[in-house]
Amino acid sequence: MSRELDETHDVSRQSWVASAKSHPVFPLQNLPFGVFSTGADDPRGGVAIGDEIFDLKRAIEAGLFAGPALEAAKAAAAPTLNGFMGLRKGLRAALRKRLFALLAEGEDSVEAHAFEATLLHRAASCTMHVPATIGSFTDFFAGIHHAYNGGVRNKRNPPLLPNYKYVPVAYHSRASSIHASGTPVRRPNGQRKRADESAPTFGPSRNLDFELELGVWIGPGNAPGEPIGISRAGEHVVGLCMLNDWSARDIQAWEYQPLGPFLSKNFGTTISPWIVTMEALAPFRRAQPPRPEGDPTPLPYLWDEADQESGAFDIGLEALIRTKTMREKGMPAHRLSASNVKHLYWTISQMVAHHTCGGCNLQPGDIFGSGTLSAPDRSGWGSFSELSEDGRTLVELASGETRTFLQDGDDLILRARAEREGYAAIGFGDCTGRIVPAVEIG
């Protein structure tokens, strides 16, 4: 990890952008990339700094980049960031270092500071977009505590299926219905059948759920038929975001056999719009937790000592709810759970290696979901299906309301924050969706 740390992680440095000083989410040491628009302007690439967005297109026009940083900036200023994601790591790192120099207090930032009025936009006045054209969305099941809890509720003995500790389980989901944070989430229609019903009925999902997940953005891809080895898998990941894989549990229970989820998952997925780069996350790498005694060692194509030593991350996660009543009363969001990325049973590199081992080609802008990242105890369970035991237990909120699943008008908010002594804490930005009523059919 030490080789990945450089001047851009220096906690003593501050930005001349006033709102970025000790910002809890987007300090100088973060510099995530996204796509934004202002008014009638076309979407373009920008960088979050405090409460502002640094306009890469205008910075290029102002002549603030040269050499490799200019090449990367042109790709990062585009309406979609696929080209930027496909760049080699050295070019991305060159742009990060130049941005750090431009936005930090010091001699290198004088020129950028002079263009402050045209380079910076208030983030609250901008519209954020999905940052890439997503060709493929693969949703993993690598949160072992969520998988275990599901097995317990379904009365499986043992709770985990035999393949779980041997293979990073996943399914291919729908890329076209991935939306940026803030996009309303329409309650889906579908067939559903309760245990006390003799036949299925059609209508709005009665058990709409959230899932507290990490999103993994793929960078450089691989050619068809050419697997990515575990030792090189990290080179193919450009950054992370938060991801909420909305789930209609009643539709899922009826449809999933024998081929898995379909309508219960394809209606919508929400992501936080900023790509927090792997370079920014370097201080928060950690060793993959050792497997419990008796668990099998991964097969050789999934095992790399360096990945085990620093392929995991210490990133705190939260899921919160704010109901219509809470908004009307001016109440803050109620925290449903607090977990951590360290609870992943498989590393990100293991996911990449397994995904491509049969020759599947990944492309810049593809995205993975980690699977629900529940903690071992109830305080960190990352879905209502766990918190309410599939609707059998009421979840009490600070407003006095109760929930078993999401109701229309509810806001569901996911957050992530990485902290480590001696380094600036960084966040991901909110991943938020409000549930709106289903469309009437027929």
Domain containing residue 222: CATH number: 3.90.850.10
Has residue 321 been placed in a domain? yes
Strand partners, 340: 316
Q: Measuring CA to CA, which residue among 220, 208, 204, 345 is closest to residue 270?
A: 208
In a domain, 442, yes or no: no
Assess whether 380 and 413 both reside in one domain.
yes
Give the pLDDT score at 39. Answer: 84
Domain boundary among 69, 102, 129: 129
Joined tokens for residue 358: 């049969």
Q: What is the pLDDT of residue 37?
A: 97
- Please say which residue of 129, 160, 186 terminates a domain: 129
Active site residue 343: no
Give the span between the Cα atoms of 298 and 295, in whole angstroms: 9
- Of 89, 107, 129, at which residue does a domain stop? 129
Per-residue b or e along 70-99, where b marks 16 or more CB atoms closer than 10 Å to that residue's CB = bebbbbbbbebbbbbbbbebebbbbbbbbb
Residue 158, number of CB atoms within 10 A of its CB: 10
- Give the amino acid at 64: L
Q: Residue 189: phi, psi to the nearest 5?
A: -95, 160
pLDDT for the residue 106: 86
**pLDDT tens-digit readout, 23-73:** 999 999 999 999 999 987 899 999 999 999 999 999 999 999 999 999 999
For position 162, what pLDDT does the model report?
95
325 is a domain residue? yes
- Shared domain for 69 and 200, answered yes or no, is no
In terms of domains, do 68 and 93 share one? yes
CA atoms within 13 Å, Cβ hemisphere of 185: 35
The answer to the question of residue 160 being in a domain is: yes
Q: Do both 145 and 118 map to the same domain?
A: no
Q: For 440, how many CA atoms within 13 A lie in the half-sphere containing its CB? A: 1
pTM value is 0.97
Q: Structure tokens of 67?
A: 């050499």
User: What CATH number should be reported for the domain holding residue 49?
Assistant: 2.30.30.230
| pLDDT of amino acid 1 | 46
Output the pLDDT for position 3: 60
Q: Look at residue 12 and tell me if it is in a domain.
A: yes
Number of domains in the chain: 2
DSSP state of 380: G
Give the pLDDT of residue 384: 98
Residues 141 and 109 in one domain: no
Same-domain pairing of 184 and 162: yes
Give the chain's residues under pLDDT 50: 1
Q: Which of 208, 274, 275 is closest to 245 using CA atoms?
A: 208
Q: Within this chain, do residues 87 and 202 fall inside the same structural domain, yes or no?
A: no
Q: Specify whether 207 is located in the same domain as 321.
A: yes
Do 309 and 390 belong to one domain? yes
Q: Which domain holds residue 161?
A: 137-436
Question: pLDDT exceeding 70 applies to what percent of the chain?
Answer: 99
Catalytic residue among 23, 121, 145, 146: 146
